[in-house]
Amino acid sequence: MRQPWPYQPRPMPDELLSSYVRRLATGMGLKPISFLNAVFGSTKNLLSQDLDNFAPEHFIDRIAFGVSRSPEEISACTLRAYAGLLIPSHNKAGRNPWLLPTTIDNNLRHRAGLQFCPTCLITDTTPYFRRRWRLAFVTSCTEHGTMLRDRCPHCSSPVHPHVALSARHCFKCGKSICEQTTGHTEHAHREWQRLLEFSLMRGWTPLGDDDLPSTSAFAIIRQIATLLVNGKRAGAFRAVIARDWGGDPAPYPKSTSRQPFEYLEISDRHRLFDMIEHVMRGWPFRFVHSCLEAGICRSHAIKDMPNPPFAYEKVVRTFLDAAPYRSSEEEVAAAADWLRRTRGKATYRDLRSICGESRAAIYRHMDYERKQKQPSRWRIEAMASLQL
């Protein structure tokens, strides 16, 4: 019969599940891989996946039973706990927006998806990794005012605490990852990041004159980040923001043209969200001005955004909608009468030059039509309506 384990530590505030498992194994005198093999069997190979992102339910339940705590408390250490606050839902089988990828292969991490604050790890009585350090917009420590780090300062290897000597050491070269403290960040940037972190606790975010559900606010921020990173107008958009509001307009190194910003290096993501902080002050006026200056219209502003939040859709539709004006039936009829009086007939070309894209109404009121082997759907619809 299974029994609770003799060592039952409480999860630290905002601790990652992988960090908690490492502390749990160390407290029982085992390596994390040996501990997981003893509990779940060596065929599971649980370290070959991102436990923080994809921990299965039976894994959560077994850990909770072993430490005599509720599954909800252990599940709160995973990244899926951000569902409903940061993202609408969590994808168990693939990549999730805002969550930094680790790309684990053969039990090794190939991407620097786990960030850390060297000062936090040094000053912690029991060093542990925070859950918020896996978020793409978190690039500085709001407690110490310094940049986060995502690699060993000696060999530039990603952080992999499961196979390292301790939470403060590099798994590859064995040296301390807490040496060579990072530089300080701007106060305005840290305050904006602190506001976003606080939004994940209360579930809503102030944006302009409104208080939005946090999922809607983060969807808007992510779309603006995408406009700055990808697309033909991204360079012009960055240049306008840097010229008028500040920030670094340098392009972001990418392996593909449509690479998500979650794959950027931490220094590039810091530049990116610093620029977003500048353009989102006084929402939506700086954003609208920058879009108009960069030639970004509504269709581009909502590209690859299947369900824009109403607050964002209202802004882009009001200020950035470049759809052509479509004349009403009465306006087309009046234009046709004027052409007959002045030119003798109302042709398709003349009516379109006056009335724009109202082709269905033009077909119903024009006097001349060029012969077509295959009538357009506008012509077919117009003739069907006349027959009715």
Asked if the model's pLDDT at residue 239 lies above 50, the reply is: yes
pTM for the full predicted model: 0.83
- Percentage of the chain surpassing pLDDT 90? 66
pLDDT of residue 388: 61
Asked if the model's pLDDT at residue 114 lies above 60, the reply is: yes
Contact 302, 313 (CB under 8 A): yes
pLDDT of residue 255: 85
* Position with higher pLDDT, 387 vs 223: 223
pLDDT of residue 105: 72
pLDDT tens figures, 256-272 = 888 999 999 999 999 99
For the chain, the average pLDDT equals: 90
pLDDT tens figures, 275-332 = 999 999 999 999 999 999 999 999 999 998 988 999 999 999 999 987 667 788 898 8
Q: Where are any strands of DSSP class E within the chain?
A: 104-105, 108-109, 140-141, 146-147, 204-207, 210-213
pLDDT of residue 1: 46
CA–CA separation, 186 and 295 (whole Å): 30
**CB-CB neighbours of 332 under 10 Å:** 26
Q: Omega into 206 within 30° of 0, i.e. cis? A: no
Q: Lowest-confidence range among 144-158, 171-185, 219-233?
A: 171-185
Nearest to 267 by CA among 154, 115, 120: 115
